[in-house]
Structure 1
């Protein structure tokens, strides 16, 4: 059975849980205690030397990085709809995985770290970056339902979590109606599972290697 080493409040972990559910794949969740520094234990570092979740184990394969895991799951268990084979279509989908790992991570996800995990960051810069990418997303979604190809792909799964969690980073989605409508469409997908919403500030992880 597939195993997912997971931290419940991590948006990067959630996107993998969401993909597993959308594909209808049985899996076991293995919680990792970030607050106590379990992600930096020798045992965990054998799975991922970077000390980050998520980590997915499928038979003898160990793979980390949420974007890489989405690609693997889509290609191994999904149909071409989730990750098309044609170079032009694949390129359009993959560019959003890059945006997820850069603009979304350094904007929306980073702003959330301040409020939810009490980490010291440049909040103003993170929120500026967040507003920038939200404007790009809102304009991109003005005349389409999905990020690419007129259907949900791993591009949508990758970008969704930290956009949905924007209010936890002190960022309102009120000015981005197309983004809000896109969020609602994702929530209606067959197999959708909800994302935990933090209601309290979580103590900072013991090690700063967290990718939350």
Structure 2
């Protein structure tokens, strides 16, 4: 296989960007990172050309353009690590991972991720509703992880990569992880994976 020519458009403080960066690092793939921090930047205009929705991250792999963080995970697993088990090939295994990709885009996004977005980026939402959503998904995850090491299989998969970033940084949105020992143990297992790279902590102090 020829050396990949990968460029990732993203934002360091974005959990969506981080899940793509994390997986690139776990796979040991070299890439160029282009930060997109404001709408008036030239990089932002290029991002909108690549992804008319204007959302990060976007991955460029030679002539290929892949938008959406979960789509990037699936692409990288199939393109560069098809036999690794990150995305199982058997129907049940693939379905189990897909379930957690949907949870990452749904319950995690509108719970822990949105709580953090409100504090770090000033997003507007009802705090009580968002924190209740975070508690529901974290309680579910804690019970799910009580008798297993990882979310979708007996090893790390894309499910864990997709869910890790916003759950790990939930305290930045005022969502404590103290009530969820199984979730905290799972986070530690993900952080122990060879090639793991953390998402930078928010410059905003943790909310009470």
> Does TM, scored on the shorter chain, surpass 0.5?
yes
Quick one: which of 122, 135, 140 aligns to 2:144? 140
- Report the Cα offset of residue 69 of structure 1: 0.4
- Report the Cα offset of residue 80 of structure 1: 3.7
Does the aligned pair in 2 maintain the 1:38–1:44 contact within 8 Å?
no
Structure-2 residue corresponding to 1:48: 51
Structure-2 residue corresponding to 1:15: 19
Structure-1 residue corresponding to 2:133: 129
**Aligned residue pair count:** 200
C-alpha distance after superposition, 1:65-111 (max 9, x if no partner) = 00000000011111341001111110001100000000000111111
Structure-2 residue corresponding to 1:111: 115
Structure-1 residue corresponding to 2:176: 172
| Greater mean alpha carbon deviation, residues 23-32 or residues 77-86 | 77-86
Greater RCO, 1 or 2 (C-alpha within 8 Å, sep 6+): 1
Q: Structure 1: which 5+ residue stretches go unaligned?
A: 202-212
Does the aligned pair in 2 maintain the 1:74–1:83 contact within 8 Å?
yes
Matched, 1:76 2:79: yes
Quick one: which of 6, 21, 28 aligns to 1:24? 28
Q: Secondary structure at the match of 1:136?
A: helix
| Greater mean alpha carbon deviation, residues 36-45 or residues 154-163 | 36-45
Going from structure 1 to structure 2, the CA distance change for 1:112 and 1:39 (only over 3 Å counts) comes to farther
Over the aligned positions, Cα root-mean-square deviation in angstroms equals 1.5
Matched, 1:152 2:174: no
Q: Secondary structure at the match of 2:156?
A: coil
Q: Structure 2: which 5+ residue stretches go unaligned?
A: none
Moved over 3 A (4+): 36-42
Quick one: distance in 1 between partners of 2:28 and 2:89?
21
- Report the Cα offset of residue 38 of structure 1: 3.9
Q: Secondary structure at the match of 1:30?
A: strand
Does the aligned pair in 2 maintain the 1:33–1:39 contact within 8 Å?
no
Does the aligned pair in 1 maintain the 2:8–2:32 contact within 8 Å?
yes
Quick one: distance in 2 between partners of 1:4 and 1:21?
12
- Report the Cα offset of residue 200 of structure 1: 2.3
Structure-2 residue corresponding to 1:186: 190
- Report the Cα offset of residue 120 of structure 1: 1.7
Matched, 1:93 2:97: yes
Structure-2 residue corresponding to 1:204: none
